[in-house]
Amino acid sequence: MTTLKGARERRVRTGGVELCVAELGDPARPTVVLVHGYPDSKEVWSEVAVRLAEQCGFHVVLYDVRGHGRSTAPKPLRGGFTLAKLTDDFLAIVDAVSPDRPVHLVGHDWGSVQAWEFVTVKRTEGRIASFTSMSGPSLDHFGHWINARVKRPTPRRVGQLLGQGAKSWYVYLLHTPVLPELAWRGPLGKRWPKILERMEKVPGDAYPTPSLATDAAHGAWLYRDNVRSRLLRPRADAYAHAPVQLITPLGDAFLSEKLYDELERWAPQLTRRTLPAKHWIPRSRPDQLTSWINEFVTQVEGGRPEPTRPAGRYADRFGGQLALVTGAGSGIGRATAFAFAEAGARVVAVDRDAESARRTAELSRLLGAPAAWAETVDVSDEQAMEKLADKVAAEYGVVDVLVNNAGIGLSGSFFATTSDDWRKVLDVNLWGVIHGCRLFGGQMAERGQGGHIVNIASAAAYQPSKALPAYSTSKAAVLMLTECLRAELAGQGIGVSAVCPGFVNTNITSTARFTGVDAEEERRRQKRTARLYGMRNYPPEKVASAILRAVADNTPLAPVTPEAHGAHFMSRFLPGVLRAIARVEPKV
């Protein structure tokens, strides 16, 4: 029996083989067909399949490719795994599970290589409603990609060709006689779960391998029967006749993302997605894949043959993800929420001012967020933050990107700063970040599907100032916390970044407190500071762009404004100059 809980199993006979097919969900609903890669079986899809059926309500079909899992192998093996015969298998399954409606096709690795054939040949036209591809190019497209670089070489193109050639080392080995079969039936087959555990950062037992040695030996013929012939003689008419969603893991050890540079030529109805993950994303990122497949299929079923997507620069990276931003009621926080919304992320806008948070969420939806919610909380209140984390996880899901932005300003000499002043600053600027990292970061780590934490520090974190001892100390602590947490979470695929702005035109300047002066003098200094920052006029939208870029690039430390870059340079190479500047008496 299949290990997929609640699955119905059937056998489909075609072309001299018997295919093992599993189904989940209501057959009256749209059908999603999942095709596995090498050396996997259909079980590699179990996490995604269950989610698509139970959470999204689809009729989900997955099958063992001929010669894999519980499907039988052709005899003889040579010539039994051609793309034409794999297409015969696919059509036989579709006729059995969805005879009256086209299906939505999803492929990973060699499942995607096959599926590109399915979606570009004439005889499947009308049987495929959409195709989601991950970690597997069309061999025809790959052949044309190689030819373009051989016939019209440039340094960049030659570098791409050599880079992919190095990544494809295993393809050459799989073409050798007998050696792959011996390796899989020997030490490689025994060690494969542990190898995957080290490569993919998920438990090795997440990859069921009861027939691994046999499956892998059979699967070598996928390469031998197809790769060489197609790369040498790629089809000129390999155009997709259905909308395509391309999901590219940026850490794929086997395929360069440059392989897909000219894909719009072959798939004019193309939606691109990227995510920071390695090759086996059906196991390492099932939640994100489920979200993107659900969104894509729903759009196509809704009558939009060319799925729309946000036009933001990072739409392929953050579309459908859940971003939570604290201090989102104004300034950098609001601009960041809007930037994620424009990139197609779902947004949770958190602020202690309920009306400001509500307004940010409302505008985020207008800017392109599929969904946006407002939550009211004081980040310094540990119990309130714990309740928020529980609510967000239960109602919206585990956060993919956390931006700890909430902060307050405080100016005044060390001896004019009271203990209460210190507590207020540290409670918000440091403890608020600690609470966010511990609670939402802990949920990311427990989920085991990666994520990213951004802590908004400041140029004051590495630039000493006699006027900002409490504020600078709080931000320096945030910077060090970020570095420590980045080291701890690196092995779990969770990035952590510190973003350090300088003078940014936000309302923190008009609300910052000044110690050691009376109320009238404090108001005067607030107005003066707000006026100076307004004259500087560095917009929070630029900081928001830097935040998204830091997440996309997994940047450890990101100074933003010119003065922040300058101070960071001096802190590393001219610390004495920076200390001398700190001794200058500030104008008040």
* Residue 467, SS3 per DSSP: coil
Please give the structure tokens belonging to residue 65. Answer: 């490719």
Closest CA to 249 of 353, 444, 112: 112
Tokens read off for 374: 């407002």
Nearest to 540 by CA among 355, 407, 415, 376: 407
Q: Which two tokens stand for residue 186?
A: 């020997």
What is the distance between the alpha carbons of residues 339 and 357, in angstroms, rounded to a whole number?
Answer: 15
Closest CA to 201 of 36, 445, 437, 440: 445
Instruction: Count CB neighbours of 176 within 10 A.
Output: 12
d(CA 52, CA 169): 34
Positive or negative, the Cα torsion across 51, 55, 56, 59? Answer: positive
* Contact between 250 and 280 (Cβ < 8 Å): no
Cβ burial, residue 232 (10 Å; 0-12/13-18/19+): exposed
Rounded Cα distance between 319 and 295, Å, is 10
Q: Which of 298, 297, 292, 282 is nearest to 317 (CA)?
A: 292
CA distance 112 to 280: 13
What three-state secondary structure class fits 129? strand
Joined together, the tokens standing for residue 235 give: 């089809």
State which H helix or E strand residue 295 sits in.
Answer: helix 286-301
Query: Is-catalytic flag, 471?
Result: yes
Instruction: State the Cα–Cα distance between residues 326 and 247, nearest whole angstrom.
Output: 29
Structural tokens at position 126? 């009308």
User: Cβ distance 298 to 286 under 8 Å?
Assistant: no
Instruction: Check if the beta carbon of residue 259 is closer than 8 Å to that of residue 537.
Output: no
| Residue 177: how many other CB atoms lie within 10 Å | 8
| 441 vs 393: CA distance, rounded Å | 12
CA distance 399 to 224: 43
Q: Which two tokens stand for residue 177?
A: 């006689």
Give me the phi and psi of 19, to 5 degrees please.
Answer: -100, 135
Q: Using DSSP bridges, classify how beta strands 59-63 and 31-35 pair: parallel, antiparallel or unpaired.
A: parallel
Choice among 260, 462, 471, 533 that is catalytic: 471
Q: State the Cα–Cα distance between residues 84 and 55, nearest whole angstrom.
A: 34
N- to C-terminal Cα separation, the chain? 78
Task: Label residue 545 exposed, middle or buried (CB < 10 Å: 0-12, 13-18, 19+).
Answer: middle
Active site residues: 471
